[in-house]
Amino acid sequence: MDSDATHHITPCRSDFKDYSPITGTICLGDKSTVNQIGTGTVIFKSPQGYEITLSNVLHVPAVKTHFMSTCALAQKGASVTFDNRAFKIIHKGCYIAKGYLEDNLYWLDSTGNSLNTHAGNVTTSLHTWHQCMGHMSHAALKAHGPFAIKGMNLGSSTMDIPTICYGCELGKSTHKPFPDSVKKTSRILEIVHSDLASPMQTKSIQGSSYIATFVNDHSCHTVVYFLKSKDQFSAALQKFLSWAETQTSEKLHTLHSDRGGEYMAANVKDILSQRGIEHQLTMPGTPQQNGKVERFNRTIMDKAMAMLHTAGLLNGFWEFAVSTAAHIYNCTPSCTLKWHTPVGTWNPSKVPDISYFMSLDARGTCTYPQTSDTN
């Protein structure tokens, strides 16, 4: 309650029943000026049960609270009485509202109500309902809200949707998807993507816990190695380089990987530098930049676990399943390769023969060799 204010003031656009944009400036008690951007009528219900209508309320977003003008109330025939602890508003002989003193300021008692809570027959803006409904889509709320739930009263004058909802902008923000790489390799071993898959929950029956994967960028041909510990990665890298360069008569130009400790180890750096191999590293915390091999890991593990569950095998057999899945992957036509296979692209003279493929099955028979002692 402000005895110096000439008009009622609110910072909230949603308080208004009707609203007219208007520009201007007002002078505050400390002689500073702020912008007024609108005016209109505000209706609220006091705790005493009276519906109070305030006209010519100024919309001033820069202020931090609501101001009720005793002068404006008096001009409408209301009287305001103050004592050392509280005040009362009386209109036409009826006690319609009260307030209390706190920090040398008189505040209107609006317990259970506020200027944002309009009377039941007053429409509330669509954006206010958007906030009340946990920032539900404006369009969905407008189209279906009034018909699906009770208590939502939307008028034609309250349908304005703000250009930006700051709550949605901050609360629902996500990373933009990483764009696909536009760089295309033209030969085998120009770029090889590598990753060391996290330790499996169960050790394989061979004792392995890690999978080192090497995916050729040009052909998508993949080689996997199974490791018992991370420090075995350098040996796996040397084994891959020897095999790949012997099989293709090509030299590896670039190794692309994340910044895991196994790739940053001194012995791995020595292997690459001695062979003149460029090492491309992803930015910290961005596995998306190593997406080709990350997607391969997901594809292979999905295939492997599906085969294990179908066969009814224990998780300890995952090394067999992953090895089989990688071999199947290399023999599978791919859209990326215009429906050629990774094996066929790696070695154009070779067309994979899959006539020996069989579904993984745990059932089998056991035979014993005959001996001279057998009766």
209 and 328 fall within a common domain: yes
pLDDT at 205: 93
Average pLDDT across the chain, whole number: 83
Convert the pLDDT of each residue in 56-100 to its tens digit.
999 988 887 888 888 888 888 888 888 888 888 988 888 888 888
pLDDT at 117: 41
215 and 301 fall within a common domain: yes
pLDDT at 172 > cutoff 80:
no
pLDDT at 157 > cutoff 50:
no
| Parallel, antiparallel or unpaired: strands 191-197 and 254-257 | parallel
Residue 97 near residue 48, CB atoms below 8 Å: yes
Q: Which of 58-67, 76-85, 140-149, 361-370 has the lowest mean pLDDT?
A: 361-370
- Using alpha carbons, select from 93, 106, 114 the residue that is nearest to residue 43: 114
pLDDT at 32: 85
140 and 268 fall within a common domain: no
Residue 54 near residue 122, CB atoms below 8 Å: no
What count of other Cβ atoms lies within 10 Å of the Cβ of residue 154? Answer: 17
3-state secondary structure 210-257: EEEEEEECCCCCEEEEEECCHHHHHHHHHHHHHHHHHHHCCCCCEEEE
223 and 261 fall within a common domain: yes
DSSP 3-70: SS-SS-EES-GGGEEEEEEEEEEEE-TTS-EEEEEEEEEEEEE-TTS-EEEEEEEEE-TTSSS-B-BH
104 and 143 fall within a common domain: no
Task: Give the CATH number for residue 254.
Answer: 3.30.420.10
pLDDT at 240: 95
> 2 pLDDT band (50/70/90 cuts)?
confident
Convert the pLDDT of each residue in 249-263 to its tens digit.
899 999 999 888 899
218 and 322 fall within a common domain: yes
200 and 326 fall within a common domain: yes
Task: Evaluate whether residue 26 is within a structural domain.
Answer: yes
Answer positive or negative: Cα dihedral of 228, 233, 237, 242.
negative
Instruction: Name the residue with higher pLDDT: 172 or 351.
Output: 351
131 and 82 fall within a common domain: no
Domains identified in the chain, total number: 3
Give the global pTM: 0.54
Task: Evaluate whether residue 176 is within a structural domain.
Answer: no
Backbone angles phi, psi at 13, to 5 degrees: -65, -30
The average pLDDT across 122-126 equals: 64
pLDDT at 155: 57
HSE (CB half, 13 Å, CA atoms) of 154?
A: 21
Residue 40 near residue 57, CB atoms below 8 Å: yes
Task: Evaluate whether residue 64 is within a structural domain.
Answer: yes
The average pLDDT across 236-248 equals: 93
pLDDT at 364 > cutoff 70:
no
Task: Evaluate whether residue 167 is within a structural domain.
Answer: no
pLDDT at 210 > cutoff 90:
yes
For the record, the structure tokens of 170 come out as 């901050």
Task: Evaluate whether residue 364 is within a structural domain.
Answer: no
- Using alpha carbons, select from 270, 266, 264 the residue that is nearest to residue 241: 270
Task: Evaluate whether residue 198 is within a structural domain.
Answer: yes
pLDDT at 93: 83
Range of 61's domain?
Answer: 9-108
80 and 205 fall within a common domain: no
226 and 249 fall within a common domain: yes
314 and 210 fall within a common domain: yes
133 and 91 fall within a common domain: no
